[in-house]
Structure 1
Amino acid sequence: MMSAPLDRRRTAGLMLAVGAATFAFLAAPARAADDVLVGVIQPLSGPNAQFGIGAQRGTELAAEIINAAGGIQALGGAKIKLVAADVPTPNTAAAATQRLISQNGVSAVVGAFVSSTTLAASEVTERAQIPLVTFAFADQITGRGYAYVFQVSPKGTAFGAAQFDYATAIAKAAGEKIDKVAILYEDTAYGTAQAKGLREAAKAAGVEVVLDEAYPLGITDVSPLVNKLRASGAQIAFPVSYLNDSLLIIRALRQQNIDIPVIGGAAGYIIPDFKKGLGAYADGVLSVAAASGDMIPDLARTYKDKYGTFITHEAIIHAAALDAVAKAMEKAKSADPQKVRDALATLDYCGGLAAGVPGGCITFDKTGLNTSSFPIMVQWRGDAPVTVYPPKAATEKPVWRGKTVE
């Protein structure tokens, strides 16, 4: 694995020392003079609350770890205090982010999970000259020339390409040649970006896309999609979707005995509610991901002890995002947003909570994209997904059509 090793003994000690949560909500936070405030924007209600809550938990846990380790040393041990805003939809993101910034002297903002929401919120943070560190995938996030936006995960097109390339490589190793594939995607910023990467990767490989179908957010009837997939002759289906549509698609396929491999596009395919909603239908489902708990086991264990479930990739990446903000404050020796932004732009660090990011490091290029990260592929085994590809990151072998691939 490429990720830098986490100092397990030190981290375990820090995690055991964690006390009460430091997470505070938007309404009039009381703070000591040496606190540094970091804003958090996530969908804590609405259709994507599962992701927002996981992301919030990861950020909370990172704050606890940083504070238990002595806070921001360059600022005399100042503690990080989180102030949050609920951004359930893109339409609410701008106003909520503006209120958070105007009512609190935040040094930076972390979030939001949903790409379209992050795009809306980043318009506000850019105007306010407050750095925004995000997990969201959409290419536009760091493709607009903004100076205050930093993307910890790879772009959506990179995830789409990996979704295709990793799956076809696993199939080839299992002795199956892939000639025809299907792409099903939600018509949001996330879905369209990732579908573009899938499409381009298939073209580069000379593989025919026999079904390329967008569908609206909030779809309730996937029967037309499934019927088209059945008739297409595709050997692999690549759906890119959040939770409800992922459940509908997989359930419909399996109930109709369509047993072609399904390669999820992260999001709804790799959270606990996916397994809860599908039961045995989830077993063996592959998906791309931005991170996995088996790559940072100490953090994963602490998260499970605290929250009772495996750590999701959005929790890992948002924890790393807050750690990047803390490292930028250390480097800048300041909590001033402009100085934090400048330190983020030149940040180059490995280890710490960045160990959970594939590649093990956070280094932003001139657009704000983390050049050290890369997508991974996970597969459901029992109650949690495990990393199976690429080999440099894998902790277990992939299984293709019931066969373990060496």
Structure 2
Amino acid sequence: MRSRLFVGAVACVLCASACGGVATGSKTSSSSTDCGNQVKIGAPYPLSGDWAENGQNSLQGMEIAAAAINADGGIKNLKGAKIDIVSADTSSDNPAQAKTVTTNMLQGGDIAAIVGSYLSSLTLTTVVATESAHVPLITQSYVDELTQKGYKYVFQIAPKASAFGATTIKALQGLYKNAGKPLKSIVIVGGDDASNKAQADAVGTSAKTAGLTVADTVVFPDGLTDAQPIVGKIVAAKADAIVLGGNLPDMSLIIKGVRAQGVNTPIAAPGGGGGLTPQFAPTLGALSDGVMDLAAWNEDLQLPGVKEASAAYNKQYKQFMPQEAGESWAAVYEIAQVMNDKKTCDPQKIADGLRTTEFTSGPASAIPPGKVAYDKSGANKYITPVMVQWQSGDLKTIYPEKLATAKPILD
């Protein structure tokens, strides 16, 4: 893993992209004279429970961005104001708590923007709080519903669940074809949270549209203690591919159970979840090799600032920089760029800037394919999911070919 600090390199990137730090601002502030010397960006994430690792990774990605921006002199057009990341624990399984902690976070009127809350079931309530307060929310949650309700302050940096479903099938078909392997049927297995259910539905619809047989669809509750009933259904399906979503503890139980039955069918996750966490390979050891997952971001992408950020993340946290950390890292840079360009820390003006800005350079653009812009619904209109695969303990991008850094292994 890369381990060198990237302050000098990031400084160059920041100068080129006009992204700096941020400042503590009230909802009524609109210029550098109003913002003080610090701006707060909220980070409501699951920091306890089954999804705590993903929430912590997301928070750490924000902190890496803030540290680099602050070290480079802060937001230049806000008199060098610095970013302060304010975190709160949403829990992993209580959407009401996600709304409450976000509401409490916003009561002081000094939060310029929010990035959160990773898990879709949590973000669906977080967004209620941010909409009420008229504060922009950049989220890496997948559920389509976020951009279907007419919200004015939500910005979905990640692909929608429906896009993940279609891309999962398209990627598997392409990879199987190139490997000379038949792909006629799949079995869909996933947790019962909002995101996983939406992704499973999208995968099923896309599979049928592509002429594939869905041998079975298995839904399980988060927090499995016994995976054998699920494993039995997977084995009985005798499918050509297993599409498996869920958190790390649940996925690891299922994968260990399936492999213990002598089933070596390729496994692909339909986006996010436990398959992208740094602990996936250490938890599963050799069983992690070959497992694929669809991602909105990966640390080996050849995009602005990614190499430097992942090096800093590795040095700071002693692990590679996962998808959710990369998304939240880029989100902070987007907020910073808007504040710098518009010379404001006012949430309304930041939201306006996010709606109208095309991020085409610097770390703010470092989401596949290398540019970001939000449509009227708040969806990222350019997002391109990538298929990644665990190979010898590292997560490698294998699809699409133009972004791939390694060849796929389907044996």
**TM-score, normalized by length of structure 1?**
0.90
Count of residues in Structure 1 that have an aligned counterpart in Structure 2:
382
* Aligned residues of 1:293 and 1:356 also touching (Cα < 8 A): no
- Which residue of the partner structure matches residue 145 of structure 1? 150
What do the CA deviations read for 1:340-389 (whole angstroms, capped 9, x no partner)? 11111111112322353111112000011111211101111122211011
Instruction: Structure 2: state its 5+ residue gaps.
Output: 1-5, 15-20, 25-34
CA drift at 1:245: 1.0
Q: How far is the alpha carbon of 1:194 from its aligned partner?
A: 0.7
- The answer for the alignment partner of 1:274 in structure 2 is 280
* Alignment correspondent of 1:353: 363
Residue 10 of structure 2 aligns with an amino acid whose one-letter code is T
- Cα gap change, 1:8/1:72 in structure 2, threshold over 3 Å: closer, same or farther? closer
- The alignment's C-alpha RMSD in Å is 2.0
1:314 matched to 2:314 = no
Cα distance 1:166–1:253, how it changes in 2: closer, same or farther (>3 A)?
same
1:69-91 Cα distance to aligned partner (Å, 9 max, x none): 22222212211111111111323
| 2:30 match | none
Whether the aligned pair in 1 keeps the contact of 2:176 and 2:183 (CA below 8 Å) is: yes
2:75 aligned residue: 72
Which residue of the partner structure matches residue 134 of structure 2?
A: 129
Find 1:43's aligned residue among 43, 46, 70.
46
2:353 is equivalent to residue 343 of structure 1: yes
- Pairing 1:54–2:57 present: yes
Contact in 2 for aligned 1:14/1:69 (Cα 8 Å): no
Cα distance change of structure 1 residues 223 and 60 upon mapping to structure 2, 3 Å threshold: same
Cα drift, residue 307 of structure 1:
1.1
Q: 1:9 to 1:398 in 2, by over 3 A?
A: farther
CA apart distance, 1:191 = 0.7
Corresponding residue SS for 1:350? coil
Give, in angstroms, the shift of residue 213 of structure 1. Answer: 1.7
- Are the aligned partners of 1:272 and 1:384 in contact in 2 as well (CA < 8 Å)? no
Amino acid at match of 1:144: K
Q: Distance in 2 between matches of 1:372 and 1:299?
A: 22
* Deviation for aligned residue 1:272: 1.7
Q: Letter of the aligned partner of 1:192 in structure 2?
A: K
1:166, distance to aligned residue in structure 2 (A): 0.6
Q: 1:7-406, aligned counterparts within 5 Å?
A: 10-11=9-10, 33-88=36-91, 89-265=94-270, 266-295=272-301, 296-401=306-411
Mapped partners of 2:310, 2:393: distance in 1? 14
Question: Which residue pairs with 1:18 in the alignment?
Answer: none
> What TM-score, normalized by structure 2, do the two folds share?
0.89
> Which moves more between the two structures, 70-79 or 250-259?
70-79
Show CA shifts across 1:170-218 (max 9, x none).
0111112211110011121111111122112111111110111222222
Change (3 A) 1:37 1:140: same
| Unaligned residue ranges in structure 1 (runs of 5+) | 1-6, 16-20, 25-31, 402-406
Greater CA drift, 49-58 or 219-228: 219-228
Q: Deviations over 1:108-145 (max 9, x none)?
A: 11111111111111001001111111111111122211
Give the drift of 1:41: 0.9
Question: Once the two structures are superposed, what CA deviation does each residue of 1:25-66 show, in whole Å capped at 9, x if it has no partner?
Answer: xxxxxxx93211111111111211100111111000001111
Contact 1:37/1:104, CA 8 A, preserved across alignment: no
Q: What fraction of aligned residue pairs are identical, expressed as a percent?
A: 36
Q: In the TM superposition, what is the alpha-carbon distance from 1:14 to its structure 2 partner?
A: 7.6
The one-letter amino acid of 1:11's match is V
Change (3 A) 1:355 1:9: farther
CA contact (8 A) 1:294 1:387 kept: yes
C-alpha distance in 2, partners of 1:360/1:99?
35
Distance 1:220 1:64 in 2: 40
Identify which range, 112-121 or 159-168, moves more after superposition: 159-168
Secondary structure (helix, strand or coil) at the match of 1:360 reads coil
Report the Cα offset of residue 331 of structure 1: 2.8
Contact 1:14 1:65 in 2 (8 A): no
